[in-house]
Amino acid sequence: MSIHLRPATRADLSQILAFIRELAEYEKLRESCVANEADLDLHLFGEHPKAEVVIAEWDGIAAGFALFFHTFSTFLGQPGIYLEDLYVRPELRGKGIGKTLLLHLARLAQLRGCGRVEWSVLNWNTPSIGFYESLGAKPLADWSVFRLSGEALENLASGKHN
């Protein structure tokens, strides 16, 4: 049994969307998942890609993925990698697939001159938190994640904020 990582291609769009939907189900956020193949195609493989995907295969079967993009830290003066999604199918967990994906991102970060790899995790997701901490990752206790989306984003963009 072996793990193989490869960059995603357009041919993987349906698999990527399936992984995203499975992750949304796991995170109890299915109703928030409105992604579709057309949007993924545009933003992952279009003229100006906004993110990258690595597919993990277990003996030739799609087992999981990591979707990530570059950020920039003004304090470090360096780029970083933000891991938007890391997912491994439940029946294939515990085989080192998630660790292999994170190892790949850590090495990619170093090759690209990045100062860090960051991601968010839901507070209730203790299996993932324990996994990340076992790899040396630390939670940022003094930081809160803010999100501007939907109507609030539209209002601010159009100058209709309070």
**Token pair for 61:** 């079967």
* DSSP label of 60: T
Quote the radius of gyration of the chain (alpha carbons, Å).
Answer: 17
- As a whole number of angstroms, the distance between CA 120 and CA 140 comes to 10
Other CB atoms within a 10 A radius of the CB of residue 126 amount to: 10
**Token pair for 120:** 């968010």
- As a whole number of angstroms, the distance between CA 95 and CA 98 comes to 8
Task: Report the half-sphere exposure of 97 (CA within 13 A, side-chain side).
Answer: 29
**Cα angle, residue 71 at apex, residues 69 and 73 outer, rounded to 5°:** 160
Q: Is 87 a catalytic residue?
A: no
Three-class DSSP category at 81: strand
Hey, which residues are catalytic here?
A: 132
